Chains A and B, each alone.
Chain A
Amino acid sequence: MTALSSNSGATEAEAEVVLSLQGVHKRFGDLEVLKGIDLTVRSREVVCLIGSSGSGKSTLLRTCNLLEPIGAGTIELLGHDLGHERIDPDAVRRHIGMVFQSYNLFPHLSVLDNVTLAPRRVLKRSKAAAEQEATELLARIGLAEKAADFPDRLSGGQQQRVAIVRALAMGPSILLLDEITSALDPELVAEVLGLVEELAQQGMTMVLATHEMGFAREVADTVCFLEEGRIIESGPPAKIFEDPDDPATRRFLQRIIEAGRL
């Protein structure tokens, strides 16, 4: 059985830091979306960002792969300061996989071409090599027979799993997952979360923005609660979900429980 991710094993105790943010600020015009974010993500760690819509989760993820420029602070990927003037954003993004809420598969390309596009055009893999790798990955998620289909023939859950495989095909050091189940029909959520869980077990380093509290509790090593552009509280899921210190975290969880979502 091929592993979906090729993360090889640093030990839990002193795993290397993959991503680190210090004092990250971001504003859109008058609106300050991130007000000083500090976050460290170590190799093989799964970090879940929770918080209501507009708390800055998505923006935080998008600053990490330079889709959004930051106002102040530093972001480091594997020890490299991404604010350095000679940083090539395309090179940075090669090492960071990103999956979006709305899948964003390329509708004019087959499933296979969706997965091979970046390995071929960016990593300059041969067509044959890229396609073989892609086919293996698709087989691993049970979608090998969909390789020749176009995305609009696939269910939302299948599309989102292809989007994850498309990101994995680049062999990223870290995956950023931005509310990847929020646009799915309820019955399709499980297949996507199942894949993410499998990746977690195989040691993929991930940061997820999610509204799936049950999933976060189960899979996360660290849960960060965001409110109004700040990380209010972070810690292991048992601590955050069972016994949060901050009243804001408690209020948020109370609302989630009232809505029957935890």
Chain B
Amino acid sequence: MPPTSAGALIDRDEPPISLYSSSRPRLRGRAGTIASTVSTIVVIGLIIALLASPSAAAFRKGFLDVHQMWIAFKGDPQKGILSVGKGFLLNLWLSIVCEIIVLILALGIAALRMTRGPVLMPFRGVAIAYTDFGRGVPVILVMLWIGFGVPSLNIPGISTQSPVAYAGFVLVFSYTAYVSEVYRAGILSVPTNQVQAARSLGLSAGTTLRRVVLPQAIRNVLPALLNDFASLQKDTAIVSTLGVAEAVHAAQIAGGVEFNYSGFTIASLLFLAVTVPLTRYTDRIMAKDRNRRLAGNGGAGAATSSP
């Protein structure tokens, strides 16, 4: 048989193929368990050895002093040390209140940006400018700007607010910009044929948005929303620049009075205690969502793909 006969569609003279990987197979079963145990012991041993070494003594004393952590955590009024623990409650409270306001306002901004029609054109422009600004300028800059700038303006009723109010305003201002973009991505992720199906049933544009688009959009971006919430929770620390008695500010004071920075460590641990479970929860939701998508039968795929 000639290598390629004229007009044939298939070349039958294929080179030999190999279907085997040249690298060693991965360790499995018992061998794998032993290997992972050994490597874990080695890594933990290295960390302990590093921390226990004489040259790390200063580090242990300055950052990991349990007694100092405790003083910073509960505070010491006689020395003028504020409680990091109490301060952290303010961080928590501020993040929850801000998050609720952000979720509502951002939805409004996102919906506004999705509208059509000439009347709302200038509002859309303002919304776009705002999201660009809110996402583009560092939170700490806005915080300094509002926190120190506004009180100096002497505007009755506005310049006399507490630093916590300014801080809350700034966090809401910055995060609404982010979250509105998350919502918008969610709305855009809903296939247009869902909208067409809803409109074909006689549902108005508003009802379609509320009953059909938003429920699907929010489910699609729930991980991103939770992510932004974890981020907002962390960023409440920036409030310390305004001298608000939250965890980071309290830790700063303790560090200055005691010449010991273990207060920062305890503050970090408190933040981690909130953000780590939150991100794990986000991961679980994402995994569940992925499984749900994969578990759907052929019909499920067809329901979301456009012809």
Contacts and interface: CB of A to CB of B under 8 A. Distances in A.
Contacts of A107: 216, 300, 303-304
A118 B203 contact: yes
Interface residues of B, number: 29
Interface stretch (B174-182, B207-215, B239-247, B283-291): B207-215
Given A102-B193, A104-B193, A104-B197, A183 B211 contact: no
Nearest to A176: B200
B118 interface: no
B32 interface: no
A211 to B, nearest CB: 13
B215 A108 contact: yes
A146 to B, nearest CB: 12
Nearest to A120: B211
B199 interface: yes
A96 B199 CA distance: 11
A163 B306 CA distance: 16
Contact of A103 (B198, B200, B303): B303
A90 B202 contact: yes
A152 B207 contact: no
Nearest to A169: B201
Interface stretch (A43-51, A75-83, A153-161, A240-248): A153-161
Contacts of B211: 117, 121
Contacts of A185: 298
Given A90-B204, A152-B297, A100 B303 contact: no
Given A94-B202, A166-B201, A104 B299 contact: no
A98 B200 contact: yes
Contacts of A105: 197, 303
A105 B198 CA distance: 9
A179 B193 CA distance: 14
A153 B292 CA distance: 11
A152 B300 contact: yes
A107 B296 CA distance: 11
A73 B211 CA distance: 34
B194 interface: yes
B262 to A, nearest CB: 49
A46 B61 CA distance: 87
A155 B299 contact: yes
B201 A67 contact: no
A223 interface: no
B216 A152 contact: no
Nearest to B217: A108
B307 A102 contact: yes
**Of listed A156, A158, A163, A170, residue having the most chain B CB within 10 A:** A156
B299 A152 contact: yes
Given A108-B216, A117-B211, A152-B296, A159 B303 contact: yes
Given A117-B211, A152-B296, A152-B297, A102 B201 contact: no
Interface of B: 193-194, 196-204, 207, 211-212, 215-216, 219, 292, 296-300, 302-307
Interface of A: 65, 67, 89-91, 93-94, 96-98, 100-108, 117-118, 121-122, 151-156, 158-159, 163, 166-167, 170, 179, 182-183, 185
26 contacts: A65-B200, A89-B199, A90-B203, A93-B202, A94-B202, A100-B193, A102-B305, A103-B302, A104-B193, A104-B303, A106-B194, A107-B304, A108-B219, A117-B201, A117-B212, A121-B203, A122-B201, A122-B204, A122-B207, A151-B303, A152-B300, A154-B299, A159-B303, A166-B201, A182-B307, A183-B302
